[in-house]
Structure 1
Amino acid sequence: MSRGHRLALAILLLTAATAPVGTAPVTANAGDGALVTAVPNPTADGDAGEYAVVRVPTASTANWTLDDGERVVAVPTDRPAARVALTATPNATRRLTDVPVVAVPALALSNAGERLRLRRNGAAAAALTYRDAPEGDRLVRTDDGTAWRPLGYQPRDVHRYGPATVTGFVLPDSPSLPVETLRSARRRLLLAGYTLTSSRVVDALIAAHRRGVAVRVLVDAEPVGGRTARGAAALDRLAAAGVDVRALGGPRARFDYHHPKYAVVDDRALVLTENWKPAGVGGRSSRGWGVVVDSAPVAADLAALFRADAGWRDALPWRRFRRGKTFAPGASAEGSYPSRFEPTETTAAGVRVLTAPGNAESALVGVIDGADDRVDVIQPTVGRRDGPLLRATIRAAERGVRVRILVSGAWYVAEENAALVEWLNGLAERRDLPLTARVAEPAGRYEKIHAKGVVADGVVVVGSLNWNENAVSENREVALAVRSDALAAYFRETFVADWQGRGRVGRTTWVVVAGALAALVLAVVVARKTIRFA
């Protein structure tokens, strides 16, 4: 069962002990104290390490206690920190939290559900009620109330930064740009990805390490279909050269998949839609988008994210993770494609860093909802038809915004994308909306669409976020929203080229196209002229 389904099963309420179920917690002032979080079901035999975090005033003369209706434990107030983790197994708990740990032998939390009460001199100060605690999760506050989140996961806000120099590029047209960016590192090089198999990328990382650059790599532990022998060999080379390589996953994983594609190179941020492999950054297969942002604050933001993701117990050193494992052979993409679009450099008015789980979906919905003129979307495929992102594009069309949605024609999504395109075009025709969808036909310019991009008026969104429920709620994803009319014009130009590449537009629209062609043929016959189609 995915974490998303487990979240749906968890019914959580933070309440004042004297308030009706469903009301907000009462923590009006520092003297009231608070129940901050609970971890009733850690991933350990006998739930070793389970704990509850409380906040009470330090050096308080009051008598603070925590009870579940059966047992009562004292909450110490002689600690230097107001926030403490109460637990019966302190050694195990210290491996799970950075909060100061206090041993409370009588504390026991039920996985099936509990009502904990924090009391001050016997009077209720706060309470925490939960049911069906998911394994390895803890309670966190969200904009909508509370939710279970994996241990080690910290929700992030959208981070906004000022003007910056931005270089935009597309793949397979500019495969040298991402590798040359990596090769330019002088101080630090942090590379985060889903998979890594490119020998050119590995060479650049090892060369940087040998000239004294601080190089670290973080990839997903168990990509879909398993890791190939080629991918394992690439990581082996890096580890043997002394590069810090970690694989994020396993039974305590915070995310279903570590799926971002970014690098921090000194004070620049490189964010891609493509994986670190020949098919992606090597330009051997996929249509992809990318940006390089020359901005110390943006680079620092992604560096902090990298450290947080690589610093938890689910990010295992590669050599330890791969011990005893075998890997299946895998073929590498060997396509060759023309370079039609050169990179472009411009100054962006602002850059926002979006991450999932957490804020990426709502931020992207906001970008689409803010469009007044045009929205162009390129995606490998789209998940639910009633998902928030697709609904936002339909809302845009309903208010008169011209919307185009281009999806991949790759064999593994061909059937579902054809059905989606027909449904969207049928919807647009029935409701007279300025919305059109197409299945792309590369016509020799690339093999398949792997880009995940949006151009909404003067805002470009580039990153790893697929338009499906798992990506927005369960995966680690990273995207940048860049405000720049020039960058928007660049990516819209590449979009139009892909859009016009003889894309299939669905049976409904083909009726119109066929009628137009018939009229053209009739005109040609009447005029007794010959037309040659290239």
Structure 2
Amino acid sequence: MPHSRFDPWPVLAAVFALGVAATVAAPVTAATTPTPPAIVGAVPNPAVDGDTGEFVVVAVPKAAANWTLSDGETTVSLPTDPAERPGTRFAVGDDPNATRRLAEVPVLGVSRLSLSNAGERLTLRRDGAVVARLDYRDAPEGERLVVEGDGRRWRPVGFEPRAVRTHGTARVRGFLLPDSPEVPLDTLRGAERRLLLAGYTFTSERVADALVAAAERGVRVRVLVDADPVGGRSARGAAALDRLANAGIEVSVLGGPHARFEYHHPKYAVVDDRALVLSENWKPAGVGGRSSRGWGVVVDSRSVADDLAGLFRNDASGRDAIPWRRHRRGKRFDAGAAANGTYPSRIDPLTATGRVRVLTAPGNAESAVVRMIDDADDRVDVIQPSIGRRDGPLLRATVRAAERGVRVRVLLSGAWYVAEENDALVDWLNGIAERRDLPLTARLAEPRGRYEKVHAKGVVADDTVIVGSLNWNANAVADNREVAVAVRSDDLATHFREAFAADWAGDTGRTTWVLAAGALAALLVAIVIARKTVRFGDRR
């Protein structure tokens, strides 16, 4: 995917519905029947030669007859006999076999239907009277039109939104990096039946060792990473994926012309009946404990594991999931240095019980986190590498919490490549707090030898801790595949809040609530590849 698509400034809604109508948004499923007749979706420009398989989705009452669909030039008639129609909601296309590969609803073949990529006005009539219209212009390749409320957008064909998945009480082990790199590694090493690993980048030799050993003892191992990470894939990363593929592990990369997401950015693994969810990449800087401050959890729950396994299968089965060996043909990879820092282990893991929810983006993560912050009564702590625009829903929610009297702290990375913009945001937030007398404080992290830089994406809102890959910017919530879990547990929330407090104070190990002034971290020796690189939050 071209890097030029990245733009952290537009505010994009996080809730996505497959079906669209001129006035009513509803999922395009065979079981859903809207009250009014409607045109509920369109794919005018499939990513195939000749736009083969293009279609329009309509919803009409089963008993009604005399329906026509027109684009202003061509009019097609729907079967008069309702029994000849494949339901009350169906796709209309002139190449039914090709359309069935793209549509999630039954398909009705018609003699002719040609949709212009430049734009159309689609009109649904009954007995010659107009009952619904849907307009579009400049249809992007491989995407479908979506209308949400008063707004419209295009979404990739094949993307299915998910609701927040709520699971029961489970045992959860919370840990920090670089303090406890053995936790994710030991979790992977314990696989007996299945090991599904999803990530953005992969370079860790120790993780590769664990996956290869699992495959050799008969565990089914699959790996899914992003096809084109920011800055490109290093020779070290290519060699790691080569090694996995050579061991018989199914390795795929997500991207290409049919991509459903801007980036495949989650960091999770399904290990038998456990789920490992964290903020860090599968590389020495992340899970290796060689650089980043990260948060993670291991959830001992078959329900949560099966949930994420289903997500993995869905993401790995799309047309944009490309076998690694095919993707790497003819490509050259530049050498890249791995992080090799060493840091003391000061915060031990904690095992507690809590109720677990699984959040994903695009779709539900942003709105779910906003609700959790809006529900807070006492304290909200936020740790992020950086934050996008100042009027984004997530940052607005933190300010609203402070306006209710909730004590809010925002801790951002002081790494040199984000220091300037983060410092400006800190000044802005603290200025708001001072002018309006709000219990809101923001600062830059000062590692003081405890880690190199902040890479965690976490929230502690009263008794709930949120851990995962979700950066607080528009691309992450609307365009990237992201995964996070929210765990409601007093013990676990206290654990992460105390860790946050130590990072907030810039301690060498003690936990405190002292609000000392933040400072910039020491400069790192690196090369800025592009502004997009430093804003994305996965620099190393």
Query: In which range does the TM-score fall when normalised by the shorter chain?
Result: 0.7 to 0.9
> What code does the residue aligned with 1:74 have?
S
Structure 2 equivalent of residue 14 of structure 1: 21
**Distance change in 2, residues 1:109/1:34 (3 Å):** same
Structure 1 equivalent of residue 74 of structure 2: 71
Structure 2 equivalent of residue 525 of structure 1: none
Greater displacement, 89-98 / 263-272: 89-98
Q: Percent identity?
A: 69
Question: What SS does the corresponding residue of 1:246 show, helix, strand or coil?
Answer: strand
Q: Which of 201, 205, 218 lines up with 1:199 in the alignment?
A: 205
**Distance change in 2, residues 1:67/1:304 (3 Å):** same
**Distance change in 2, residues 1:495/1:246 (3 Å):** same
> What code does the residue aligned with 1:73 have?
V
1:470 aligns with 2:475: yes
**Distance change in 2, residues 1:45/1:3 (3 Å):** farther
Displacement of 1:117: 2.7
Distance 2:145 2:458 in 1: 33
Greater displacement, 456-465 / 105-114: 105-114
Deviations 1:401-450 (A, max 9, x none): 11111111111111111222122222212222111111111111111110
> What code does the residue aligned with 1:47 have?
D
1:337-348 alignment runs, 5 A limit: 337-348=343-354
Question: What SS does the corresponding residue of 1:86 show, helix, strand or coil?
Answer: strand
> What code does the residue aligned with 2:363 have?
G
RMSD: 2.7
Equivalent residue pairs, number: 495
**Distance change in 2, residues 1:502/1:439 (3 Å):** farther
Contact 2:256-2:320 within 8 A present in 1 as well: yes
1:130-529 alignment runs, 5 A limit: 130-140=136-146, 142=148, 147-348=153-354, 350-501=355-506
**Distance change in 2, residues 1:7/1:401 (3 Å):** closer
Distance 2:366 2:473 in 1: 10
Structure 2 equivalent of residue 49 of structure 1: 53
Q: Which of 38, 41, 48 lines up with 2:42 in the alignment?
A: 38
Structure 2 equivalent of residue 62 of structure 1: 65
Distance 1:480 1:6 in 2: 23
Larger-gyration structure (1/2): 1
TM-score by length of 2: 0.85
> What code does the residue aligned with 1:446 have?
Y
Displacement of 1:397: 1.2
TM-score by length of 1: 0.86
Contact 1:261-1:272 within 8 A present in 2 as well: yes
Distance 1:78 1:453 in 2: 53
Distance 1:6 1:369 in 2: 19
Distance 1:172 1:202 in 2: 19
Structure 2 equivalent of residue 529 of structure 1: none
Distance 2:242 2:5 in 1: 30
Distance 1:312 1:23 in 2: 28
Question: What SS does the corresponding residue of 1:412 show, helix, strand or coil?
Answer: helix
**Distance change in 2, residues 1:145/1:420 (3 Å):** closer
Distance 2:377 2:326 in 1: 52
Question: What SS does the corresponding residue of 1:472 show, helix, strand or coil?
Answer: helix
**Distance change in 2, residues 1:344/1:24 (3 Å):** closer
Distance 2:6 2:430 in 1: 34
Structure 2 equivalent of residue 85 of structure 1: 91
Distance 1:79 1:397 in 2: 55
- Unmatched runs of 5 consecutive residues or more in structure 1: 16-21, 512-534
Deviation >6 Å, runs of 4+: 3-8, 27-32
- Unmatched runs of 5 consecutive residues or more in structure 2: 14-18, 509-514, 519-540
Distance 1:347 1:31 in 2: 44
Deviations 1:1-56 (A, max 9, x none): 63887989xxx9723xxxxxx5789x997897543311012223432321112345
